[in-house]
Amino acid sequence: MRIKNKHLISYFILLYFCLLVSPSFATNGWNAGVAKCVITPKENMWMAGYAFRTKPGEGKLHDLWAKVLFLEDSVGNSALLVTSDIVYFTKGVSDLIRQELKESLGLDKAQIILNSSHTHSGPELIGNNFRYTYAKHFDQLYETNGKYHKMSEDYSYWLIKTIVKLAEEAKHAKQPVNIYSGNGTVRFQVNRRSNKESELTNTHALKGPNDFSVPVLKIEDKQKNIKAIVFGYACHATVLNGYEWSGDYPGFAQIELEEKYEGAMAMFFQGAGADLNPIPRRTIPLAKQYGEELAVAVERTLNDDMQFLTPTLETNYSEINLRFGQSDLSARKQMEDIVKESSDFPDYDKRNAKYVLEQLNSGKNLTTSSYPFPVQVWKIGQQLILSLGGELTVGYTIKLKEIFGENIFVLGYSNDVMGYIPTKEILNEGGYEGTRAPVPSMSWTKDIEDNIINEAIRLVSETSYHYSIKK
């Protein structure tokens, strides 16, 4: 039967409309590209993370890596995930990376996640807003014309250029892929606030809170070859405390997976592990054991029924102003008490307090200002991913999962690590994680948790993710 001309015109108009609005007609689906590079320092520079180190790092257990995944959905929306074997991205380094990626690839902050594994066997970077570190090499590192300051400065700028170059390579290498998500489980994390490490051998039941989930993304090409394995865990990378470069247990897990899946790039992201430690610890065999346990959990998830993610990508980002819990007057009194010779504060706290006093004496307002805290949301198909800055405590994951569902991914240590991010409960309890805001030995205001959670809800609400808040 012939189609009349007006019906034929209507048919082509309808077809054109379908092509225009339907992602499934626009392309074959997802495109993705990967790139990686060794970032092990070539010089014996200072390591980050521990106060007791008395000399620079030397030698290596295995190489440190920066790894990049470029994603593009069916209509050309794109995003970039960067993972790295460093203790954290400082604000100065992070801002420069994102600025250069904006210029070279046209990506804005919402489209970029910079995550660090938080290995304490990696190099010290420059670029913090406040000049403090927990290490004994404070004066050497921050002596502007000093040898070790120059090493950290040169390394930081080299890392910035390297990550931008990797991003360009990953975009250039993009190819059609399918993406899947799932969650595994592993249980070597221990809540360090609720359990004393020295007493664990006589402890029969560990206390929480905890989050044992192992979130996994599988990226495979159209021939079903795995191109990238993105996985996370919430636990300090502090098994090792020596002087050799290594990615700690996340490094061993990535090595294990890349050996198991030839041609695949394994990328580890750190979750909300600020109050979670791997215990027992302090030996290389234990670091390998935890890495292998984590890799097995990932492998099991890869071979399970993972969720196929439709080729749609949404990204959202903001920076909220978090305030400090003390006035400059009370901060001065506290710092003066710390620096007294009779005080029992450790040397690094005294150095930090001395520096804060110098800033106050120069006329700077430290505590009356606020800090721009990054909150970020990605929706990859049906998979919701929230990435937050700072050393995020596990209570945030628990709260966000109550709101958005158990299968969401939560990343801490993303885009800027300025200090610990405690919950209201931790702030009320006090202790180490409650007094490590960007201004040394100080705390945030008590509304920090509500501000962060409410902003996450706002950003998610601007996406197409469906959820219902429990009353």
User: pLDDT tens, 426-458?
Assistant: 999 988 898 878 776 678 999 999 999 999 999
pLDDT band at 139 (very low <50, low <70, confident <90, very high): low
Residue showing tokens 């970032």: 39
Q: Which residue has the higher pLDDT, 426 or 370?
A: 426
The rounded distance, in Å, linking the Cα atoms of 172 and 189 is 38
- Residue 351 token pair: 């150095």
What pLDDT is recorded for position 56? 92
**Weakest mean pLDDT among 122-136, 147-161, 232-246, 278-292:** 122-136
What pLDDT is recorded for position 440? 62
Beta partners for 269?
A: 232
Neighbour tally for 353: CB within 10 Å? 25
- Residue 392 token pair: 């995020």
What is the average per-residue pLDDT within 291-296? 98
Query: Is 137 a residue whose pLDDT tops 90?
Result: no
> Which residues fall within 8 angstroms of residue 82, CB to CB, at 6 or more apart?
66, 67, 68, 97, 112, 113, 114, 115, 163, 166, 167
The rounded distance, in Å, linking the Cα atoms of 194 and 420 is 17
User: pLDDT tens, 384-440?
Assistant: 999 999 999 999 999 999 999 999 999 999 999 999 999 999 999 988 898 878 776
The rounded distance, in Å, linking the Cα atoms of 293 and 464 is 35
What pLDDT is recorded for position 196? 86
β pairing state of 189-191 and 276-278: antiparallel
User: pLDDT tens, 238-251?
Assistant: 999 999 999 999 99
Supply the mean pLDDT for the chain.
Answer: 89
Is residue 416 a contact partner of residue 94, using CB atoms and an 8 Å limit?
yes
The rounded distance, in Å, linking the Cα atoms of 289 and 295 is 10
Transcribe 121-181 into DSSP letters.
TSB-----SS---SSTTHHHHH-TTSHHHHHHHHHHHHHHHHHHHHHHHHHHT-EEEEEEE
Query: Is 105 a residue whose pLDDT tops 70?
Result: yes
The rounded distance, in Å, linking the Cα atoms of 110 and 106 is 11
